Amino acid sequence: MLAKVAEKSYAAEARYTNFYAGNDIAWSNDGQYLYCLNGDVVNRVDVATSQIVNSYGAGTDTEGNKKHARIEDVEVEEDNIYCFALSLEHLVTAHGSGLLRLWELNTGKLIKLWKAQHKGPVVQIEFSSCGKLICSSGGADATLRLWDFATNRCLCALKDFPGPALLLRFHPNALKREIYAVGSDNTIYCWDYDTKSLLYKMRGHISQVTGLSFKNAAADCNQLVSVSRDKVLIVWQLEKQSSSWHQLKVIPLYEELEGVQHLADGAQLLAACRNGKLLQIDAQTWKIRDLQIKTDFEISRLLYCAVKQQLSLVTTEQNILIYDARADAKSVEVELVKQLVGNNDEILDMCFLGDNDRYLAVATNSKHFKLYDTEQQMNCKLITGHTDTVMSLAASNNLLISVGKDCSIHLWKLSHKTACHLQPLTQQSNCHTSTIGSVAFTHHGATAFASACQDGSMKVWQLSRDKREENSYAFALKYAALAHDKEVNCVTFALNNKILATASQDKTAKLWSADTNSLLGVLRGHTRGVWCVRFSPVDQIVLTSSSDCSLRIWSIANFSCLKRLEQECTILRCEFLDHGKFILSAASDGLLKLWNIKTNICVQSLDEHTDRVWSLAVSTGSNRFFYTGGADSKLIRFGDVTETVRNEALDQRQELLQQEQTLHSLLHAQQQLEKAFILALTLDKPKASYDIICNFVRKRDSSAVRQLVDQLNMDQRLALLKHVKAWGTNSRHSQIANLVLQHLLGDALINNTAKLYNSGNLVEVLTPYVQRHFKRVSELSKDLAFMEFIVNCM
């Protein structure tokens, strides 16, 4: 069959999914990757591209992909990972099943698996400095276990402390055989794991200890710093004479502390506060300086990469802020260089802004929305300013408006001086009495915008700019109207900015005069709430999508429904594509459909999302790509591959024509019949394959028929079985069909993959034909025997 040339086709070019769900996170030694815990897998994330390179977990293969169990395989159940640890060559994961798994970092191969032998789950695990030992802490047995994974031995069990240990550290020098653990009594314990003896107890904190840092990695390191949520930093000094640690300095910092790190060979200290502050402490004078005063992020972890001299702050919303940390003996300077989004939650809305649609603004069920630089490997900037969830975004060239549950409207401008940066221009609070669910700019220059509220109201705002000052903008209310009886889901302007459309849960969409606030018409016909409304960029029509599983196209002239397109479930968003020739719809089941307006036919279905798709962002500049986001937290970029698919289809068609010509030539010349037989199976030509086998049968060459079947692989045998099905429908071909079936089923009884022969229930389909032919041959044999008996009796 000749290949079909695609009318219009899109394909997923890049996927940006959740890779971090909280808890453990580690930085590779070279700073190139972050290892992030996400449920039942540990994801290896490239810091430069924010893409998942590999995944480690019970349900992944060596390439980090989810395993798909075959029929004969035992189904792999999810086994959540509670914690993990990283060394230069290995990764160890502690699972809810009580197993410890050791992975090879480079290949992702599972090397060892053993039972942790703890009561309850493992809550903390750590590699030794040499990378040859592993220490694990149980959640219920107050025990540390030390493992030599090379010999599969548990070296010792340390019990002289109240567990569990929520913080574990080996001494950074491998020659010092010491391990430090923080017990549930907030005391720091130190053991010599060679002699299995408890060396030190360091009491001083009254709340959970969240960070430990050694001054250096030398064997004679005599200074240790600890921080806690009791808002105190303690510097511990080791007295060699008395062989004990004592408190050299106790520094109250008046903030809950989540991590500490020595810099510049121990000359400077960095402490991360929970409220987002970074504090620098001079290790000589003990003076404190704020490095980062204003932030809206809560910090949960502090990581440091010595090779790249970078530190990262992990927020409670699973965002990762990476800073360059330039430190010397006197000062530390930090500069934000990258932000990674570990968990998007639900993606509620998105829009393009900037020249050539370079930037993508994304609202993700948070009071912070994200700004992605699509030309710089999706480098992300978290934009702060709202006090509650951002629900909707709208952009016009370099201007952006954000609205949300805090009932405020924020106006932003894209900065040309700094890449991926939004400058706040102005804002107004209490613009509506309820959550603002949708906002829209005018086209061809931002002169006004409209906002819609969940209480059914709509407001149109006049936007003005002071000509003397470049960044002086203001907006004032032009008019307000009670647009609908129920929540307004969508508001948008026509291309000429003269008509305004609203869509509501009251099952209607309405058209308004944008200047005079007069109602032009009501679009009635949907049987459930209307989610989205869009104007065509070229025709006098309006497109709506609804919970009644339909798309409707309406005439602006008389407000009548022109067309109706049906889908299987609620259609949440819709957009015009390719200058109004196609419609893209997004549904609550995660399915995207591409419709041809002229033919009313769905030309493509895109099944990339697993949950509701809330937002679509189509590049208006090129119409060559678009982004989608939804409740599954996936941000996916789709590109126009029509030309590529068309060329591939034409190449496939040319190849098929060449193969058919080759097959015809071979059959005509009666040469290389083995090759011709395989071509007949590839091209799905039952008549040609039948003629080839008949040729050998006429010559009574049964071995040649056997060789034809033996040379086939599994796919070719399945194709031959389908040909046998076609032959078996005619009694004249039954002899050849049964002959080939005998060879195929004879091999299948010996081969373990016999069950694959029954693709599409072929055996059940063939059985009645075989029985009918057998009955017919049996009757003929009886008649022949009777005739022979009569002849012999004469």
Tokens encoding 137? 């802490």
DSSP letter (8 states) at residue 429: S
Q: Is the pLDDT of residue 22 over 70?
A: yes
Among the listed ranges 464-478, 523-537, 608-622, which one has the minimum average pLDDT value? 464-478
347 assigned to some structural domain? no
What is the rounded distance in angstroms from the CA atom of residue 724 to the CA atom of residue 766? 8
Which pLDDT does position 294 carry in this prediction?
Answer: 61
CB-CB contact of 78 with 69 (8 Å): no
**pLDDT, mean of residues 586-607:** 92
Residues in a beta bridge with 489: none
Tokens encoding 213? 């840092």
What is the rounded distance in angstroms from the CA atom of residue 443 to the CA atom of residue 395? 10
What is the rounded distance in angstroms from the CA atom of residue 550 to the CA atom of residue 561? 12
Which pLDDT does position 69 carry in this prediction?
Answer: 34
Domain closes at, from 290, 319, 341: 341
In terms of domains, do 510 and 569 share one? yes
373: CATH = 2.130.10.10
- What pLDDT, in 10s, does the model give residues 637-680? 999 898 888 888 888 888 888 877 887 777 777 777 777 877 88
761 assigned to some structural domain? yes
In terms of domains, do 305 and 362 share one? no
Please report how many Cα atoms fall inside a 13 Å half-sphere around the Cα of residue 454, on the Cβ side. 12
Which pLDDT does position 764 carry in this prediction?
Answer: 62
Which pLDDT does position 484 carry in this prediction?
Answer: 92
What distance, in Å, lies between the first and last C-alpha atoms of the chain? 59
Domain closes at, from 341, 369, 400: 341
Give the best-scoring range by mean pLDDT among 102-106, 659-663, 737-741, 779-783.
102-106
**pLDDT, mean of residues 590-594:** 94
In terms of domains, do 624 and 654 share one? no
Q: How many helices (H) and strands (E) does the chain have?
A: 7, 56
Residue 785: count other Cβ atoms within 10 Å of its Cβ: 10
What is the rounded distance in angstroms from the CA atom of residue 268 to the CA atom of residue 287? 10
Among the listed ranges 422-426, 533-537, 668-672, which one has the minimum average pLDDT value? 668-672
**pLDDT, mean of residues 504-522:** 91
Beta-sheet strands, E only, within 624-769: 625-630, 635-640
Query: C-alpha angle 298/301/302, rounded to 5°?
Result: 115
**pLDDT, mean of residues 423-436:** 91
DSSP letter (8 states) at residue 556: T
In terms of domains, do 334 and 359 share one? no
**pLDDT, mean of residues 419-432:** 88
- Determine the length of the chain: 794
In terms of domains, do 309 and 382 share one? no
348 assigned to some structural domain? no
Which pLDDT does position 3 carry in this prediction?
Answer: 47
156 assigned to some structural domain? yes
Which of the two residues, 367 and 622, has the higher pLDDT score?
Answer: 367
Among the listed ranges 146-150, 307-311, 325-329, 536-540, which one has the minimum average pLDDT value? 325-329
349 assigned to some structural domain? no
**pLDDT, mean of residues 504-532:** 92
CB-CB contact of 704 with 696 (8 Å): yes
Residue 641: count other Cβ atoms within 10 Å of its Cβ: 18
Give the best-scoring range by mean pLDDT among 219-223, 350-354, 645-649.
350-354
Angle, helix 686-698 to helix 642-669, in steps of 10 degrees: 20
7 assigned to some structural domain? no
Q: Is the pLDDT of residue 723 over 50?
A: yes
In terms of domains, do 627 and 716 share one? no
Average pLDDT, the chain: 85
Tokens encoding 264? 């510049």
Which pLDDT does position 92 carry in this prediction?
Answer: 94
Could you give the number of structural domains in the chain?
Answer: 3
Which of the two residues, 15 and 69, has the higher pLDDT score?
Answer: 15
* Structural domain span for residue 635: 354-640
Q: Is the pLDDT of residue 547 over 80?
A: yes
- Percentage above 70 pLDDT, the chain: 91
Which amino acid, residue 349? D
In terms of domains, do 664 and 725 share one? yes
Which pLDDT does position 327 carry in this prediction?
Answer: 86
- What pLDDT, in 10s, does the model give residues 57-115? 876 654 445 553 333 333 445 788 999 999 999 999 999 888 999 999 988 899 999 99
Closest CA to 345 of 322, 372, 373, 368: 368
What is the rounded distance in angstroms from the CA atom of residue 102 to the CA atom of residue 132? 12
**Which band of pLDDT confidence, cut at 50, 70 and 90, is reported for residue 227?**
very high
- What pLDDT, in 10s, does the model give residues 297-315? 889 999 999 889 999 999 9
Angle, helix 714-728 to helix 762-793, in steps of 10 degrees: 50
Looking up tokens 């080791």, which residue turns up? Answer: 238
In terms of domains, do 333 and 444 share one? no
Helix (H) or strand (E) holding 95: strand 90-95
Which pLDDT does position 762 carry in this prediction?
Answer: 59
794 assigned to some structural domain? no
Q: Is the pLDDT of residue 390 over 90?
A: yes
Helix (H, G, I), strand (E, B) or coil at 652: helix
Please report how many Cα atoms fall inside a 13 Å half-sphere around the Cα of residue 284, on the Cβ side. 7
Domain closes at, from 640, 670, 700: 640
**Which band of pLDDT confidence, cut at 50, 70 and 90, is reported for residue 295?**
low
CB-CB contact of 407 with 454 (8 Å): no
Provide the b/e sequence for 756-770 (b: ≥16 CB within 10 Å).
Answer: ebeeeeebeebeebb
CB-CB contact of 297 with 315 (8 Å): yes
In terms of domains, do 636 and 739 share one? no
In terms of domains, do 615 and 655 share one? no
**Which band of pLDDT confidence, cut at 50, 70 and 90, is reported for residue 622?**
low
55 assigned to some structural domain? yes
Which pLDDT does position 135 carry in this prediction?
Answer: 93
The alpha carbon torsion through 171, 175, 178, 181 (nearest 10 deg) reads: 20
CB-CB contact of 77 with 405 (8 Å): no
Give residue 419's Cα distance to chain centre. 25
- Percentage above 90 pLDDT, the chain: 45
What is the rounded distance in angstroms from the CA atom of residue 452 to the CA atom of residue 454? 7
**pLDDT, mean of residues 673-698:** 78
Helix (H, G, I), strand (E, B) or coil at 91: strand
CB-CB contact of 586 with 573 (8 Å): yes
Residues in a beta bridge with 103: 91, 110
| pTM score | 0.78
In terms of domains, do 409 and 265 share one? no
Q: Is the pLDDT of residue 712 over 80?
A: no
Looking up tokens 């799905």, which residue turns up? Answer: 684
What is the rounded distance in angstroms from the CA atom of residue 219 to the CA atom of residue 224? 13
Among the listed ranges 49-63, 104-118, 268-282, which one has the minimum average pLDDT value? 49-63
In terms of domains, do 635 and 744 share one? no
Helix (H) or strand (E) holding 520: strand 519-524
Please report how many Cα atoms fall inside a 13 Å half-sphere around the Cα of residue 565, on the Cβ side. 26
Residues in a beta bridge with 40: none
**Which band of pLDDT confidence, cut at 50, 70 and 90, is reported for residue 584?**
very high
Closest CA to 169 of 107, 130, 211: 211
